[in-house]
């Protein structure tokens, strides 16, 4: 039983490698289902282990002074595993009709093995990142995910994809370099690169602790694309092939927020307390900036990319409260964003593939009549990221708002003034969401669109169903997090 999580995680890597070897010989539908099945297997095994044991760790190998490479599954990373597993598996099937059109445009109709190899490696590497217990293992999985996603953009993206993929690579590796530098100071000082379980000799870092914290958090904030280090995201996520955007925007960038919680919140809470108000200010600016840019954007995919910046602002705000309720909201925000944004990117993909690369919102309008299913799923997606019932996003936004409000009222009048700006920030998301919804699917336009195929609509329906059913039964996501906070780490910030 101790190795079952390792075997499960290896399965998509093996499937991807087989598809690469076969490449032109495989049927694209077989590739889609094979990758989806392998990702479902990983998520199912992780779920069973979590609910059977509450907390699970499988040691891969002991490396002496490097520490040990292990996979961990607990309440803290459960919503991340669930979000990544759901989106990657379902979008694998969705990507078949989308990439069929894109590959035909590019004259690469017979490169399905390459595509699904990169897709599988990108998807499972994200799961590997969030299950890692060691800085080095974390970084290895991160590099696999970054290289695979870089190649997906470079091979199949739009616009000046060569330039855009390089911009993406440079920015993400800058974040990775800062993170790894902090990790090396940590590991070489303590004699272990493990961050889980927390090393007993962590106090040996002494004055180096502040350097480690600053380097690690700067690297992770770049990954999250918060305001000031966000410039790469609108280009990369908007010009990536839409199935890749549906993974990059909801899942990949949120891993930075998870890592802040797993590494810094757990091990160095006092240092986060020192920078709490800087993080709160940065999160608020990110929410407002991302929302305002989305409100004025006329390209549907770029609108969604700017929206992702704002959504990461919400996650950072939950973290910055440094309260269990705020952390709970931040982790739930990851899951709700994965659900909502993957539906929205999928909706944009239907417009692109079935309606002659339609992306300009100014050319849309009245599409709900001819595209009732896509418009319904887009509506659910916008409701989710806006935090409206009956979607799971309602709980994440509610908990973050309560947590940040509790912190701000402690400041008296000044805090109340800031809270007003927080409420304005929260209000911008439904504003751009329903302005976009009206301009694209309702409004005065009379354009007649073509609905997506079942390969597109069924995956979107599955994601929409999960978003609604988790609203009705939030304990499926929230329960394991609550159990985690009842354990050893509850006293850290209380």
pLDDT band at 487 (very low <50, low <70, confident <90, very high): low
Q: Looking up tokens 């940590």, which residue turns up? A: 186
CA 31/CA 18 separation, integer angstroms: 10
Q: Write out pLDDT tens, residues 452-477.
A: 999 999 999 999 999 999 999 999 99
With the C-alpha atoms ordered 109, 114, 120, 126, is the resulting torsion angle positive or negative?
negative
Buried b / exposed e over 180-206, threshold 16 CB at 10 Å, is bbbbebbbebbebbbbbeebeeeeebe
**Paired strand residues for 194:** 134
- The secondary structure of 383-402 as a DSSP string is HHHHT-TTSTHHHHHHHHHH
CA 258/CA 448 separation, integer angstroms: 42
Share of the chain above pLDDT 70, in %: 98
Averaged pLDDT score across all residues of the chain: 92
Strands (E) across 19-133 are located at: 56-62, 68-73
Contact 211, 299 (CB under 8 A): no
Mean pLDDT, residues 290-305 taken together: 95
pLDDT band at 40 (very low <50, low <70, confident <90, very high): very high
CA 438/CA 277 separation, integer angstroms: 37
pLDDT at 308 over 90: yes
- What pLDDT sits at residue 348? 95
CA-nearest of 356, 370, 142, 94 to 245 is 94
Q: How many C-alpha atoms does 451 have within 13 Å on its Cβ side? A: 16
**Paired strand residues for 56:** 73
CA 124/CA 14 separation, integer angstroms: 11
- What pLDDT sits at residue 492? 37
pLDDT at 208 over 80: yes
CA 308/CA 310 separation, integer angstroms: 5
CA-nearest of 417, 422, 413, 231 to 326 is 422
The Cα angle at residue 418 between residues 303 and 435, in degrees rounded to 5: 25
Mean pLDDT, residues 119-148 taken together: 96
CA-nearest of 354, 350, 409 to 376 is 350
Sketch the domain layout of the chain as residue ranges.
4-492
pLDDT at 489 over 50: no
- What pLDDT sits at residue 15? 96
Q: Which residues contact 218 (CB under 8 A, 6 or more apart)?
A: 175, 178
- The secondary structure of 446-476 as a DSSP string is -----PPPHHHHHHHHHHHHHHHHHHH-THH
Mean pLDDT, residues 183-212 taken together: 94
Contact 152, 122 (CB under 8 A): yes
Is the pTM higher than 0.75?
yes
What is the token pair recorded at 475?
A: 């304990």
Q: How many residues comprise the chain?
A: 494
Q: How far out from the chain centre does Cα 225 lie?
A: 11
Contact 248, 119 (CB under 8 A): no
- What pLDDT sits at residue 490? 41
pLDDT band at 493 (very low <50, low <70, confident <90, very high): very low
- What pLDDT sits at residue 435? 94
CA 363/CA 158 separation, integer angstroms: 19
Q: Write out pLDDT tens, residues 390-443.
A: 999 999 999 999 999 998 988 888 889 999 999 999 999 999 999 999 999 987
Q: Write out pLDDT tens, residues 51-101.
A: 998 889 998 899 888 899 999 999 999 999 999 999 999 999 999 999 999
């Amino acid at each position: 039983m101790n190795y079952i999580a390792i075997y499960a995680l290896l399965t998509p890597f093996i499937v991807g490698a087989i598809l690469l070897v076969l490449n032109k010989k495989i049927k694209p539908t077989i590739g889609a289902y094979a990758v989806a099945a392998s990702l479902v297997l990983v998520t199912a095994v992780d779920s069973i282990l979590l609910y059977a044991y509450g907390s699970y760790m499988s040691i891969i190998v002991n490396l002496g002074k490097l520490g040990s490479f292990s996979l961990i599954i607990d309440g803290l990373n459960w919503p991340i595993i669930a979000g990544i597993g759901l989106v990657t598996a379902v979008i694998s099937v969705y990507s078949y009709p989308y990439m069929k059109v894109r590959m035909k445009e590019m004259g690469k109709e017979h490169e399905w093995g390459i595509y699904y190899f990169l897709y599988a490696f990108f998807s499972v590497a994200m799961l590997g990142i969030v299950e890692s217990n060691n800085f080095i293992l974390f970084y290895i999985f991160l590099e696999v995910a970054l290289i695979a996603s870089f190649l997906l953009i470079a091979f199949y993206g739009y616009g000046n994809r060569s330039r855009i993929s390089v911009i993406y690579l440079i920015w993400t590796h800058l974040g990775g370099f800062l993170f790894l530098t902090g990790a090396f100071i940590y590991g070489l000082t303590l004699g272990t690169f493990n961050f889980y379980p927390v090393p007993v000799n962590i106090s040996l870092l002494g004055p180096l602790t502040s350097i480690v914290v600053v380097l690690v958090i700067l690297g992770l904030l770049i990954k999250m694309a918060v305001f000031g280090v966000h410039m790469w995201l609108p280009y990369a996520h908007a010009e990536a092939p839409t199935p890749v955007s549906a993974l990059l925007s909801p899942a990949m960038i949120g891993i930075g927020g998870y890592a802040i919680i797993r590494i810094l919140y757990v091990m160095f809470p006092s240092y986060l307390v020192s920078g709490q108000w800087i993080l709160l200010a940065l999160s608020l600016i990110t929410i407002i900036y991302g929302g305002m840019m989305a409100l004025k954007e006329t390209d549907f995919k770029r609108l969604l990319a700017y929206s992702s910046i704002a959504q990461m602002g919400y996650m950072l705000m939950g973290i910055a409260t440094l309260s269990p309720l705020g952390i709970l909201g931040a982790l739930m925000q990851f899951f709700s964003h994965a659900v909502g944004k993957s539906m929205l990117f999928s909706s944009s993909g239907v417009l692109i593939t079935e309606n002659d690369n339609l992306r300009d919102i100014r050319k849309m309008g009245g599409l709900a009549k001819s595209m009732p299913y896509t418009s319904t799923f887009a509506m659910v997606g916008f409701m989710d990221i806006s935090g409206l019932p009956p979607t799971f996003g309602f709980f994440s936004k509610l908990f973050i708002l309560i947590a940040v409000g509790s912190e701000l009222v402690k400041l008296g009048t000044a805090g109340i003034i800031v809270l007003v700006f927080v409420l304005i920030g929260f209000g911008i998301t439904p504003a751009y969401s329903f302005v976009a919804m009206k301009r694209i699917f309702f409004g005065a336009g009379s354009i007649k669109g073509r609905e997506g195929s079942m390969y597109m609509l069924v995956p979107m329906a599955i994601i929409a169903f999960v978003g609604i059913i988790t609203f009705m039964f939030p304990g499926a996501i929230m329960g394991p997090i609550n159990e985690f906070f009842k354990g050893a780490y509850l006293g850290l910030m209380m």
